[in-house]
Amino acid sequence: MNNFIHSSLVTALARLLIFPGLLFAVPAAWFFLWVERKAVARMQGRIGPPFMQPFFDFVKLLGKNTPARNGVGGALMKAWPLIAVSAAAGAVGLLPVLPARGGFEGDLILLLALLEVPSMCIIAAGFSSRSIFGEIGSAREAVLSVSYNIVFLLAILSIAAAQHTFSLSALALLPPSFLRYLGITAILVCLPAKLHLNPFSLPNAEQEIYSGPLTEYAGPELALWELSHGLEWVAATGLVATLLAPAFAAWWISAPVFVALSFVIVLLLSIVAAATARLQIDTTVRFYWQCTLIFAVLAIATALFARWRG
């Protein structure tokens, strides 16, 4: 028993810190941020930033001065990016890239909760910065998160409910079905809003409300926000990649397949972002509540049907 606890603790730590955790996720986050910028640049007929650019930006921000922040408000402003980064890193660590290595019943719920934390931190950060632009950005982020999360959560939960399991590794091993592809489509429609990409880049709408919730952040705190955004990329695309990837027994096949699928999804999202313009807040909300809710309804109906039959 003691031995079992010991080995599962080592596995959990390895997943959190090595693969797919921090050691893999931080370079992957920088890589995905670069792919996004490069893809947008190529779509616009530009050359785009050099490969190491997100790393340069991160280190440079670490070396900048920060404003003195006093009192409870200041402490909170310092805490939000830290919470966001650790939650996003935890979400990446939960991804079942290597099948049959750890994972527990209900880790899907934990993953969904952790994926939600960075967005909540951004909302809280905007309000605690007490900047008018931050508050507008936070209000937009809150409205956006209420809109896309209905579809996002219903799609994932209907996949899980149809198979009677909340375990990620069990879901990753399931055979492909119509419901699964329906759910993946719904999740893909929600990802641009989750990652603040065009056409749903309302919360950080640059040149319109400056930088939204992050207007008052500078230096290392801003670096942490950039990192948490990159980790959100890894976690969100990784979730789709695990649902999409066919199950392999060998880890040395499943890990590259996971990385390749994530890369394709990042490329797809960046191309959509480069090809579209920012929508107004009411158009965005209407899009999610009226147009994409059909995916969620279809997914739930299929899940109920599958349960009734099986």
Partner 1 sequence: MKLWDKLMCTCRRRSPWLFHMNSGSCNGCDIELVAALTPRYDAEQLGVRLEGSPRHADILVVTGPVTHNSLEAIKTVYGQVFGPKAVVAIGSCPATTNVFIDSRTLDGPLNLHIPVDVFVPGCPPRPDAILQGVVKAAEILAARGNNLAVEPVVMPLVGPGCGADCACVKIAQRAVSEAGHE
Cis before 99 (ω within 30): no
Q: Is the separation of the CB atoms in 285 and 143 below 8 Å?
A: yes
What's the min distance (Å) between Cβ of 126 and partner 1?
12
Q: Give, in degrees to the nearest 5, the angle at Cα 93 between 80 and 201.
A: 50
* CB-nearer residue toward partner 1: 46 or 286: 46
Distance, in Å, from the CA atom of 69 to the CA atom of 80, rounded to the nearest integer, reads: 13
Find the binder of partner 1 among 165, 210, 247, 271 (CB under 8 A).
210
Instruction: Verify binding: residue 220, partner 1, rule CB under 8 A.
Output: no
Q: Whose CA is closest to 260, among 274, 278, 248?
A: 248
Instruction: Verify binding: residue 307, partner 1, rule CB under 8 A.
Output: no
The DSSP secondary structure of 176-224, one letter per residue, reads P-HHHHHHHHHHHHHHHHHTT-TTS--TT-TTTSTTGGGTT--HHHHHH
Instruction: Verify binding: residue 215, partner 1, rule CB under 8 A.
Output: yes
What's the min distance (Å) between Cβ of 206 and partner 1?
4
Show contacts with partner 1 in window 23-42 (CB under 8 A): 37, 41
Instruction: Verify binding: residue 276, partner 1, rule CB under 8 A.
Output: no
Show contacts with partner 1 in window 56-85 (CB under 8 A): 56-57, 59-60, 62-67
Cis before 50 (ω within 30): no
Instruction: Verify binding: residue 130, partner 1, rule CB under 8 A.
Output: no
* CB-nearer residue toward partner 1: 138 or 211: 211
Q: Give, in degrees to the nearest 5, the angle at Cα 107 between 263 and 298.
A: 70
248-256: long-range pairs with CB below 8 Å, 24+: 248/99, 249/99, 251/97, 251/98, 251/99, 251/101, 254/97, 254/98, 254/99, 255/19, 255/97, 255/98
What's the min distance (Å) between Cβ of 125 and partner 1?
13
What's the min distance (Å) between Cβ of 41 and partner 1?
6
Piece of the chain touching partner 1 by CB under 8 A; list 19-27, 213-221, 231-239, 280-288:
213-221
Distance, in Å, from the CA atom of 90 to the CA atom of 255, rounded to the nearest integer, reads: 18
Find the binder of partner 1 among 27, 49, 278, 293 (CB under 8 A).
49
Find the binder of partner 1 among 206, 256, 291, 301 (CB under 8 A).
206
Helices (H) and strands (E) in the chain, counts: 12, 0
Find the binder of partner 1 among 7, 8, 44, 283 (CB under 8 A).
44
What's the min distance (Å) between Cβ of 275 and partner 1?
15
Show contacts with partner 1 in window 167-186 (CB under 8 A): none
Binding site for partner 1 (CB under 8 A): 37, 41, 44-50, 52-53, 55-57, 59-60, 62-67, 133, 206-207, 209-211, 214-219, 222
